[in-house]
């Protein structure tokens, strides 16, 4: 579905943000992209739907070459849902209007058709009763769910997420992750930049780890969490923290993960568990070998 081959990307003449990046996302596959701040995660994902041009290499999206000057980029972008950290809803439009606009203008759907689709998707993300509100009247988590619904309204062939939960207050993160987990389980092709390792452990097929513009690890989830091939585990957690001053609940593996000791029984990584959100940091550290990168948070997905 998404083929990325030997992509180099420079911002200006001097700075190389992506170095020989090669990976792919198959239809129905969920790939999580993580790595320290500035490692090129957003740049990579933006190159996929041509929000950023790149200088060499190739990206093929559903058989269409993204960096071919003949490619109809607006049409291509309409087929790929993109969800950003800061929602990017139209503030002057009601929620339902946010969902209808591109359906009507880009896909040429009738207003009734767009309304029906929009309402169905709002219901799906649990926001049916908020259709007539403006974005500013919703919480961050609700706005991000609207942004996901808006992207889904275009019937995308794939969804790209760029840290969709990192601007949210901690208590709102799981409501957004829940929607993403459902989407993944329904077979949506997804490329997700996130540090939510709970999400990765639950639904990702593969995890890509980037550092300084390079894909330093591209592994099946089980391999990534079980036996890392790169030396990323040696990157001191403090370095990642220093580079990531934002509010988020990412965590970095220090030692081999164990089974979660909560009672749900279906988890691979302690503390990244939907079933034990109340575990404290100290309990988590003691039991799991994980360390929090944000001291302010207690365990959650």
Ligand X SMILES: Nc1ncnc2c1ncn2[C@@H]1O[C@H](COP(=O)(O)OP(=O)(O)OP(=O)(O)O)[C@@H](O)[C@H]1O
What are the residues binding ligand X (CB under 6 A)?
11, 15, 17, 35, 37-43
Q: Which is nearer to ligand X, 40 or 135 (CB)?
A: 40
Residue 42 binds Mg ion, judged by CB under 5 A: yes
Q: Which is nearer to ligand X, 214 or 287 (CB)?
A: 214
Decide which of Mg ion, ligand X, none touches 126; Cβ closer than 5 to 8 Å per partner kind: none
Minimum CB separation of residue 285 from ligand X in Å reads: 24
CB atoms within 10 A of CB 228: 18
Decide which of Mg ion, ligand X, none touches 40; Cβ closer than 5 to 8 Å per partner kind: ligand X
| Collapsed DSSP state (helix, strand, coil) of residue 180 | helix
Decide which of Mg ion, ligand X, none touches 295; Cβ closer than 5 to 8 Å per partner kind: none
| Collapsed DSSP state (helix, strand, coil) of residue 143 | helix
| Collapsed DSSP state (helix, strand, coil) of residue 140 | helix
Minimum CB separation of residue 122 from Mg ion in Å reads: 28
* Residues whose CB falls within 8 Å of the CB of residue 99, separated by 6 or more in sequence, listed in order: 114, 117, 118, 121, 122, 146, 149, 150, 153
Minimum CB separation of residue 121 from ligand X in Å reads: 27
Size of the site for Mg ion (CB under 5 A): 1
Minimum CB separation of residue 207 from ligand X in Å reads: 15
**CB-nearest residue to Mg ion:** 42
Decide which of ligand X, Mg ion, none touches 114; Cβ closer than 5 to 8 Å per partner kind: none
Residues 238, 239, 242, CA angle at the centre, nearest 5°? 80
Which helix (DSSP H) or strand (DSSP E) does residue 147 occupy?
Answer: helix 140-152
| Collapsed DSSP state (helix, strand, coil) of residue 279 | coil
Minimum CB separation of residue 244 from ligand X in Å reads: 6
Q: Which is nearer to Mg ion, 3 or 162 (CB)?
A: 162
Q: What is the 3-state secondary structure (H, E, C) of 9-53?
A: EEECCCEEEEEEEEEEECCCCEEEEECCCCCCHHHHHHHHCCCCC
- The encoded tokens of residue 128 equal 């049916």
Minimum CB separation of residue 78 from Mg ion in Å reads: 23
Instruction: Please give the DSSP secondary-structure letter assigned to residue 95.
Output: H
- The encoded tokens of residue 211 equal 């550092």
Q: Which is nearer to Mg ion, 158 or 160 (CB)?
A: 160
Round to the nearest angstrom and report the end-to-end CA distance of the chain: 28
CB atoms within 10 A of CB 115: 18
Q: Which is nearer to ligand X, 37 or 71 (CB)?
A: 37
Q: Which is nearer to ligand X, 41 or 130 (CB)?
A: 41
Q: Which is nearer to ligand X, 240 or 279 (CB)?
A: 240
* Residues whose CB falls within 8 Å of the CB of residue 138, separated by 6 or more in sequence, listed in order: 95, 127, 130, 146
Minimum CB separation of residue 242 from ligand X in Å reads: 12
Residues binding Mg ion (CB under 5 A): 42
């Amino acid at each position: 579905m998404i083929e990325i081959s030997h992509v180099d990307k420079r911002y200006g003449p001097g700075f190389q943000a992506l170095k020989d990046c090669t990976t792919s996302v198959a239809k129905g596959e969920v790939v999580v992209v993580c790595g320290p701040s500035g490692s090129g995660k957003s740049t990579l994902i933006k190159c996929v739907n041509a929000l950023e041009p790149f200088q060499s290499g190739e990206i093929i999206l559903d058989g269409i070459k993204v960096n071919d000057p003949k490619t109809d980029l607006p049409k291509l972008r309409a087929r790929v849902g993109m969800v950003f950290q800061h929602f990017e809803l139209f503030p002057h439009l009601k929620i339902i209007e946010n969902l209808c606009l591109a359906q009507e203008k880009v896909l040429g759907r009738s207003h009734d058709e767009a309304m029906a689709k929009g309402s169905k998707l709002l219901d799906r993300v649990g926001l049916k009763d908020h259709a007539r509100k403006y974005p500013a009247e919703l919480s961050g988590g609700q706005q991000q769910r609207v942004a996901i619904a808006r992207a889904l309204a275009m019937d995308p062939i794939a969804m790209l997420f760029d840290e969709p939960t990192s601007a949210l207050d901690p208590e709102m993160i799981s409501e957004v992750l829940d929607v993403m987990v459902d989407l993944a389980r329904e077979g949506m092709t997804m490329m997700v930049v996130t540090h939510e390792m709970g999400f990765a452990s639950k639904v990702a097929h593969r995890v890509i780890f980037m550092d300084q513009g390079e894909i330093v690890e591209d592994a099946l989830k089980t391999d990534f969490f079980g036996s890392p091939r790169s030396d990323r585990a040696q990157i001191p957690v403090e370095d990642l923290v220093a580079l990531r001053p934002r509010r988020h609940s990412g965590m970095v593996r220090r030692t081999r993960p164990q089974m979660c000791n909560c009672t749900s029984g279906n988890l691979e990584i302690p503390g990244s568990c939907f079933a034990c959100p109340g575990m404290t940091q100290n309990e988590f550290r003691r039991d799991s070998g994980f360390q929090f990168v944000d001291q302010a948070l207690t365990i959650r997905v």
